Amino acid sequence: MAGQEDLFKKIISHSKEYGFIYPSSEIYDGLSAVYDYGVYGVELKNNIKQYWWKAMTQMHENIVGIDSAIFMHPKIWKASGHVDAFNDPLIDNKDSKNRYRADQLVEGYMEKLEEKANKEVKKAAKRFGEDFDEAMYRETNPRVVRYTEQKNEIAGRLASLLTEGDLEGLKALIEELEIACPASGSRNWTDVRQFNLMFSTQLGVIGGEESKLYLRPETAQGIFVNFLNVQKTSRQKLPFGIAQIGKAFRNEIVARQFIFRMREFEQMEMQFFVPPGTEMEWYDYWKVERMKWHKALGTPEDKLRFHDHDNLAHYANAAVDVEFEFPFGFRELEGIHSRTDFDLRQHQELSGKKLMYFDPERNESYIPFVVETSIGCDRMFLSVLSQAYTEEAVSDGKGGSSERTVLKIPAPLAPVKCAILPLVKNKEELTEKAKTIFNNLKFAFACQYDDKDAIGRRYRRQDAIGTPYCVTVDFESLDDQCVTIRERDSLIQERVPISEVEGIIAKRVDMRTLLNS
């Protein structure tokens, strides 16, 4: 685990040093859990959004997009249940004065049990070598069975306490498990209280409840309240979906782990409207589709998994998370929820406006059911970054080797696709030729021209920001009109005619390679 923590720290400092992510308001000592995207960060983030947007809208004739406002009528949050129920259970340690999410303290305890079981399995795998049957061992080894049973039992109890909103029971569970504050080591806890995660502000100059507004905690409600507008103007028939990318705000009790849990973040959400009774079919469909989207990035199978919710939100009849193995363990990256007709029905009731759909095939009007896919853009960014970050030794071609840090970002998502490098900078013929190539290529994709420092250092700089291709212009180029393309991960160098460079690179960085897999 220490190795992974170390890796996470390296990713954070690399992000800052190479212009991916800066702490917000840094010269004023920062603002907790708020971050700014830097020069390469914004490009990577935009590419992730584009990959999602194209996969949703361009690749599905029956999904259209919108961009709704962050401010919405306050009644929307009453109808959606957020005013009354968008709470997290809060607990304070009286000695350290640290504040925690009570459910996360219990989850932390469960994670330790899982770690203990995994440790036993790992030890046994080493002992038995090739003959090791992991599934059998997990089922029969008394210690592993005990840890797993204990964990499952606690998960069940936690889920029902959360569903029932039993705060006293939650505190009793923390006491029973003898969970101590990680900071003070003490078990001197306050009672558990509910804490609403919505930020509020005020519209206009007159204060008071009347003009109270919320910063949206999810983008989905902007889709629900526009459901009929979109359906009519796009002339879509059910089933159809509405996609949206936008900011969301949550006053998280404990915001940490870099951009994993922020107070201002971005969501990519799609609500798929279906006839009642067909929602489970579509729920299964979207589980498969979304996993495909993640795996197209080349993420290894064992880094992604589904995790069914034990504790369903007030609006859902089925819910699953796509979890990714971040450097700090498996965590939710995306949620897929069957939201029933809860939201549309609530809005219909509170607004007094009909939100029904006339189904010509069934010859009846009804409120559609909804299957939602919801992914945090920032969490996706962190998963791409942690998957990409690599430290490795590379041969110097003279029998020795040197270390490099390289971001192996999938080429279509890379912030800069191609760097054009004259072999040396003080030869005008070379720099001019390189600049001409750059000035042509920049119309096709994001390029950089760089002639500072030795070529080796320039390669390292491009590796560090994840540029998949470097085009080197050397003296021979002046005669043979060819250049060398160096590929970031394999380090293979190909000699190609200048006239073919654009075509070769364009094909490899095309988002089609992801969308089509």
Angle at 284 between CA 279 and CA 286, to 5 degrees: 90
**Element spanning 403, H or E:** strand 401-407
Among 375, 388, 406, 465, binds ligand ATP (CB under 6 A): 375
- The Cα–Cα gap between 52 and 514 comes to 10
State yes or no: residue 265 binds ligand ATP (CB under 6 A).
yes
Q: State the minimum distance, in angstroms, from the CB of residue 266 to ligand ATP.
A: 8
Residue of 180, 154, 184 whose CA lies nearest to 169:
154
Residue 378, interface with ligand ATP (CB under 6 A)?
Answer: yes
Of the pair 285, 330, the CB lying nearest ligand ATP is at: 330
User: Per CB under 6 A, does 335 bind ligand ATP?
Assistant: yes
Q: Is 339 in the site for ligand ATP (CB under 6 A)?
A: no
Beta bridge partners of 243: 65, 270
d(CA 458, CA 460): 5
Measured CA to CA, the distance from residue 62 to residue 60 in angstroms comes to 5
Alpha-carbon distance of 323 to 260, in angstroms, equals 12
Question: Which string of b and e fits 252-271 if b means at least 16 CB within 10 Å?
Answer: bbebebbbbbbbbbbbbbbb
Stretch that binds ligand ATP, among 43-51, 66-74, 260-268, 492-500 (CB under 6 A): 260-268
Nearest approach, Cβ of 333 to ligand ATP (angstroms)?
Answer: 6
- Report the C-alpha gap between 220 and 86 in whole angstroms: 14
How far is the C-alpha of 268 from the C-alpha of 67, rounded, in Å? 11
H helix or E strand, kind and range, residue 202:
strand 200-202
Which of 335, 422 has the CB closer to ligand ATP? 335
State yes or no: residue 342 binds ligand ATP (CB under 6 A): no
Nearer to ligand ATP, 32 or 140 (CB): 32
Residue whose beta carbon is closest to ligand ATP:
376
Candidate ranges 118-126, 127-135, 235-243, 326-334; the one touching ligand ATP (CB under 6 A)? 326-334
Q: Which residue, 375 or 482, is less far from ligand ATP as judged by CB?
A: 375
Give min distance, CB of 338 to ligand ATP, in A. 13
Q: To the nearest whole angstrom, how small is the minimum distance from the Cβ of residue 340 to ligand ATP?
A: 16
Return the residue of 80, 267, 373, 477 that touches ligand ATP, per CB under 6 A: 267
Q: Is 488 in the site for ligand ATP (CB under 6 A)?
A: no
**C-alpha–C-alpha distance, residues 306 and 322, integer Å:** 5
- Out of 11, 117, 262, 482, name the contact with ligand ATP by CB under 6 A: 262
DSSP per residue over 290-349, as a string?
HHHHHHTTT--GGGEEEEE-SS--TT-SEEEEEEEEETTEEEEEEEEEEEETHHHHHHHH
Examine residue 374 and tell whether it contacts ligand ATP (CB under 6 A).
yes
Residue 89 · residue 254 · CB < 8 Å? no
Binding mask 212-241 for ligand ATP (x = CB under 6 A): ------x-----------------------
The neighbouring-strand residues paired with 248 are 265
Tell me if 51 contacts ligand ATP by CB under 6 A: no
Least separation in angstroms between residue 429's CB and ligand ATP is: 51
41 binds ligand ATP (CB under 6 A): no
Q: Count Cβ atoms below 10 Å from residue 492 Cβ, excluding itself.
A: 9
Least distance in angstroms from the C-beta of 332 to ligand ATP: 5
CB 104 within 8 A of CB 112: no
Binding flag, residue 372, ligand ATP (CB under 6 A): no
Amino acid at position 493, single letter = Q
CA angle 126, 129, 133 (to 5 degrees): 100
Assess 89 for contact with ligand ATP (CB under 6 A): no
Nearest-approach distance from CB 124 to ligand ATP, in angstroms? 32
Rank residues 147 and 258 by Cβ distance to ligand ATP and give the closer one. Answer: 258
Looking at the DSSP bridge assignments, the partners of residue 242 are 64, 271
Under the binding rule (CB under 6 A), the answer on residue 45 touching ligand ATP is no
Decide whether 165 or 185 has the Cβ nearer to ligand ATP.
165
Instruction: Please give the structure tokens belonging to residue 7.
Output: 């890796």
Binding of ligand ATP at residue 82 (CB under 6 A)? no
Residues comprising the chain, all counted:
517
Q: Which is nearer to ligand ATP, 18 or 315 (CB)?
A: 315
Q: Is residue 290 part of the contact set for ligand ATP (CB under 6 A)?
A: no
Q: Which is nearer to ligand ATP, 290 or 458 (CB)?
A: 290
> Which of 334/474 has CB closer to ligand ATP?
334
Compute CA distances 76 → 154, 221, 234, whole Å: 35, 7, 24
Each residue of 54-64: b (16+ CB within 10 Å) or e? Answer: ebbbeebeebb
- Count of residues interacting with ligand ATP (CB under 6 A): 16
Taking CB under 6 A as the rule, does residue 270 contact ligand ATP? no
252 binds ligand ATP (CB under 6 A): yes
**Among residues 261, 294, 347, 417, the one that binds ligand ATP under rule CB under 6 A:** 261
Give the three-state DSSP class for 389.
strand
Minimum CB–partner distance for residue 126 and ligand ATP (Å): 34
- Parallel/antiparallel/unpaired status of strands 469-473 and 418-422: parallel
Residue 130: CB minimum distance to ligand ATP, A: 38
Binding residue for ligand ATP, selected from 14, 82, 216, 379, defined by CB under 6 A: 379
Nearest distance from residue 335's CB to ligand ATP, in Å? 3
Chain residues that interact with ligand ATP, rule: CB under 6 A: 218, 250, 252, 261-262, 265, 267, 332-335, 374-376, 378-379
